Amino acid sequence: MTDNLDILAIGESLIELSTRESLTFAESFNKYYGGDVLNTAIAAARMGSKVGYITRVGNDYFKDFLMDSWQSENLDISNVKIVDSYNGVYIISRQPDGKKEIMFYRKKSAATMLSTEDIPEGVIEKSSIVYVTGITQSLSNSARNAVKKACSVAGEKECLLAYDPNFTDRIWSVEEAREAMEEIIEYIDIMILSNIHDAEKLIGISSPDKIIKHFWDRGVSMVAVKMGKSGCVIGYNGEITSIPYKDVVVVDTTGAGDTFNGGFLHGISKGYTPFESAKLASIVASEQTKGLGAIKSIPYRDQVFAEFKRGEG
């Protein structure tokens, strides 16, 4: 039985095959794993949050690699369902000149079969924060219904619901993404989004202050607007504060936004204010961009908190 959780994350996992050469000429690839919600879950777990993860995993040659890896990251995977299917794959080239090539093979993968049956009300009741994204909603109609159920149960059980639309036109249209966000907005307590990739496209606003006020008017109490190297702007309880980005030598930005979310939700679940949580998240994300790969480069708690405490002093 699942213990009390700080964060319950619901979403897709993918096998990652990565190279530093062009996909056209690469002869070998490194095997890892990723996925937007999974990146966030591991970032929070490495900070010290008790994180549960819900997904479906295919019963293929990658199954044990995934399950063993997540256990070693201290994720609670007791509600992960194994099904007779395959695990989705993305192949990524991160070249030394900064060029990035990426291909996805995820149609009808195990994670796309996520359904309302996978959403345990009792586990949500024992979670402080439930975290979902637009990517999870986009996987299939059944996954979208699973997200909707998780949101309504979170509302009933009075646990915080955090959402990142994480929009990409590679997987669906602006209209579909907007509709998916609208169907759960009444339940959202914490909105984390990019001003350019999300807000400008989905609500036609790119000014962080106006984005925050838009979502306040929709009943979302806490809004974090991510702006890449320009830092982030946090709105909560009538107050709007800018948090600067920590300047580092950036190697790879893959998954940096997801990593920010993990640091931010860790802070909230541990009782930090949204503004303190954003400072923490900014350190987590900037440290992550210093290395290659979405998950491999996510920093651990001691490293982040040494920096966070220095910042406070």
Range of the domain at 46: 10-312
User: Could you tell me which residues are beta bridge partners of residue 8?
Assistant: 52, 130
**What is the C-alpha to C-alpha distance for residues 176 and 137, in angstroms, rounded to an integer?**
10
Domain assignment present for 87: yes
Whether the predicted pLDDT of 313 surpasses 50: no
Q: List the CATH number of the domain containing 292.
A: 3.40.1190.20
Name the pLDDT band for 251 (thresholds 50, 70, 90).
confident
Over residues 264-284, the pLDDT tens digits come to: 999 999 999 999 999 999 999
Rounded to the nearest 10°, the torsion over CA 263, 199, 55, 45 is 0
Domain assignment present for 2: no
Over residues 67-92, the pLDDT tens digits come to: 999 999 999 999 999 999 999 999 99
Domain assignment present for 246: yes
Domain assignment present for 4: no
pTM reported for the whole predicted model? 0.96
Domain assignment present for 213: yes
Asked if residue 105 lies in contact with residue 90, where contact means CB atoms within 8 angstroms, the answer is: yes
Domain assignment present for 196: yes
H or E element that contains 149: helix 141-157
Name the pLDDT band for 213 (thresholds 50, 70, 90).
very high
* Structure confidence at residue 252 (pLDDT): 82
Over residues 103-119, the pLDDT tens digits come to: 999 999 999 999 999 99
How, if at all, do strands 81-83 and 239-243 pair? unpaired
Over residues 118-157, the pLDDT tens digits come to: 999 999 999 999 999 999 999 999 999 999 999 999 999 9
Domain assignment present for 88: yes
Whether the predicted pLDDT of 2 surpasses 70: no
Name the pLDDT band for 312 (thresholds 50, 70, 90).
low
Whether the predicted pLDDT of 311 surpasses 80: no
Please count the structural domains in the chain: 1
Domain assignment present for 1: no
Over residues 30-66, the pLDDT tens digits come to: 999 999 999 999 999 999 999 999 999 999 999 999 9
Taking each helix axis from N to C end, the angle separating 36-47 and 301-312, rounded to the nearest 10 degrees, works out to 70
